[in-house]
Amino acid sequence: MRADYVIVGAGSAGCAMAYRLAEAGKSVLVIEYGGTDAGPLIQMPAALSYPMNMARYDWGFMSEPEPHLGGRTLVTPRGKVIGGSSSINGMVYVRGHARDYDHWAESGADGWAYADVLPYFKRMESWHDGGHGGDPSWRGTDGPLHVTRGPRNNPLHAAFVKAGHEAGYQVTDDYNGAQQEGFGPMEQTVWKGRRWSAANAYLKPALKRDNCDLVRGFVRKVVIRDGRAVGVEIERGGKIEVIHANAEVIISASSINSPKILMLSGIGPASHLSEHEIEVVADRPGVGQNLQDHLEVYFQFAAKQPITLYRYWNLFWKGMIGAQWLLTKTGLGASNQFESAAFIRSDAGVEYPDIQYHFLPIAVRYDGQAAAEGHGFQAHTGPMRASSRGEITLTSADPKEAPRIAFNYMSTEQDWIDFRKCLRLTREIFGQEAMAEHVKHEIQPGVDLQSDDELDGFIREHAESAYHPCGTCRMGRRDDPGAVVDPTLRVIGVDGLRLADSSIFPRITNGNLNGPSILVGEKASDHILGRDPLPAANEQPWLHPEWQVKQR
């Protein structure tokens, strides 16, 4: 088994690279441990809570007990299926804010400023606004990734946006265009009623070519000879074998598995590798460090009117919705139901949004259990740029063992200040006139929780991961001791090895990470092929003209 490029992981970035490298005429082998994405549980957008909780599709990772969240262990789902986490995620599409990428460039990721990445976002997208507004000049028209908007038929979507406007915030018709800040429609990777994962968008078209193949196997480590990656050691059918790369090995196995594979291959903090008697090939102390995520709470309200999705929360209606979707790919089954969104700034002096809202016209847990007391609705919300950092380390030198995942959430005082502020601003938004005919009462946190201590207790007990882990193999200049990859995504200290997925993010981006993860694969493929990057964009993103002195 041999190819020009061996890609480890058929996830968001891996699928994009397979497509672009194969399109350029290179031979590509993609190694994926997970199985097929066939079937309605993955392909039906409204069924999103199922695959995330199934051992068949999810690696089943758990965090260490989180010291600042009362010792809770949090589930850390990652896709174990073709398409990776894009096959089990909530399908929300957010590019991130322009300033996120400018910060990357300022921190040493040369060539990754917003002007540099915007052309790649355009290249990867086929954008369909569905008549809901937005500026087409900021968007792509013929890329593999279809981006759409839900129908927003439920009156609660309009009420949420109106409440934001009444509270004094901006309204934006495209948070992925010139102006992220404000309230407006949410976008989803759904096309013709189906989940438009990286597998559907990129991998399946790539596999139709003669020069791209998928290998099912469990990756144990990268094979390195004389300082150069020459292949990948995998286990399949009970046997261990090596798949050889003529040009390069590319790891895109997620922010959890990529650092693990590097460490098992001898690339990582020397002292930690020595603990596990792994021979050190490259001492890179940054491998597994800088772990970031978004933490959020579900702010829930009981509804005055029976207009929420709760009326479909029974076996009869679930069966009807499923049947309609199977036959026609239309109806409630064809949306993830996240159809309205908002991005706001928490304070004057904050340059760009640092709080996100996913609005959902039902009150329910993310795992699809326990629709709270009948009719209700909720906003998922939390700060976007926490200062806490965690780490991924090896449990042992056995590749079969899951790594140790310590997020270290809420470990700084600033994170608590920011989260309390987020909860109070949310309460104010739902207290506006537009929501008066809909809000019966606050289910969670509950109006009796008002003081800092009471809100802190709620956060400690109820905050959940938004499932956006990243940053564990961060990109930086070659002379930066904490960097793992350089701005062309070469692993520093080893030849013939690149890494491209959400682990390279120097800092987490605003919003959901699937879009930025695919972007990394798109841009990486040009670096791998030795092509000049796409010409930088000239568009100027909108910033609140009075951000220094006004919160809204």
Q: Is residue 239 part of a domain?
A: no
Q: Is residue 485 part of a domain?
A: no
| 510 token code pair | 């605003």
Q: Are residues 180 and 42 in the same domain?
A: no
Q: Is residue 61 part of a domain?
A: yes
The residues carrying an active-site annotation are 468
At a CB cut-off of 8 Å and minimum separation 6, what does 45 contact? 91, 188, 190, 193, 194, 195, 333, 334, 335, 336
Q: Is residue 367 part of a domain?
A: yes
Q: Which residues are annotated as a binding site?
A: 81, 89-92, 219
CB 452 within 8 A of CB 420: yes
250 sits in which H/E element? strand 239-251
Q: Are residues 171 and 113 in the same domain?
A: no
Burial (CB < 10 A; 0-12, 13-18, 19+), residue 246, is middle
The helices-and-strands tally (H runs, E runs) of the chain is 13, 25
CB 491 within 8 A of CB 262: yes
CA 35 – CA 86 distance, rounded (Å): 14
Strands (E), 272-390: 282-283, 295-303, 340-344, 355-360, 376-383
pTM for the full predicted model:
0.98
* SS3 state of residue 168: coil
Which CATH number do you get for residue 34? 3.50.50.60
Expressed in percent and rounded to 5, the helix, strand and coil fractions of the chain are 30, 25, 45
Q: Which residues are annotated as a binding site for FAD?
A: 81, 89-92, 219
CB 335 within 8 A of CB 45: yes
CA 202 – CA 10 distance, rounded (Å): 10
Q: Are residues 304 and 322 in the same domain?
A: yes
Q: Are residues 171 and 198 in the same domain?
A: no
Residue type, 215: V
Q: Are residues 82 and 64 in the same domain?
A: yes
Q: For every one of its 552 residues, what pLDDT tens digit does the chain have, with 9 covering 90 and above?
A: 999 999 999 999 999 999 999 999 999 999 999 999 999 999 999 999 899 889 999 999 999 999 999 999 999 999 999 999 999 999 999 999 999 999 999 999 999 999 999 999 999 999 998 777 888 999 999 999 999 999 999 999 999 999 999 999 999 999 999 999 999 999 999 999 999 999 999 999 999 999 999 999 999 999 999 999 999 999 999 999 999 999 999 999 999 999 999 999 999 999 999 999 999 999 999 999 999 999 999 999 999 999 999 999 888 999 999 999 999 999 999 999 999 999 999 999 999 999 999 999 999 876 666 556 789 999 999 999 999 999 999 999 999 999 999 999 999 999 999 999 999 999 999 999 999 999 999 999 999 999 999 999 999 999 999 999 999 999 999 999 999 999 999 999 999 999 999 999 999 999 999 999 999 999 999 999 999 999 999 999 999 999 999 999
Q: Are residues 308 and 164 in the same domain?
A: yes
Q: 155: cis peptide before it, omega within 30°? A: no
CB 264 within 8 A of CB 398: no
Q: Is residue 26 part of a domain?
A: yes
For residue 132, the enclosing domain spans 1-149+188-231+266-289+391-400+469-478+512-537
Which CATH number do you get for residue 420? 3.30.410.40
Residue type, 431: G
CB 305 within 8 A of CB 438: yes
Instruction: Count up the domains in the chain and report the number.
Output: 2
Q: Are residues 299 and 333 in the same domain?
A: yes
Q: Are residues 310 and 454 in the same domain?
A: yes
CA dihedral of 350, 353, 357, 358, whole degrees rounded to 10: -160
CA 267 – CA 279 distance, rounded (Å): 9
Beta bridge partners of 228: 225, 495
CA 172 – CA 185 distance, rounded (Å): 8
Q: Is residue 256 part of a domain?
A: no
Q: Are residues 145 and 108 in the same domain?
A: yes
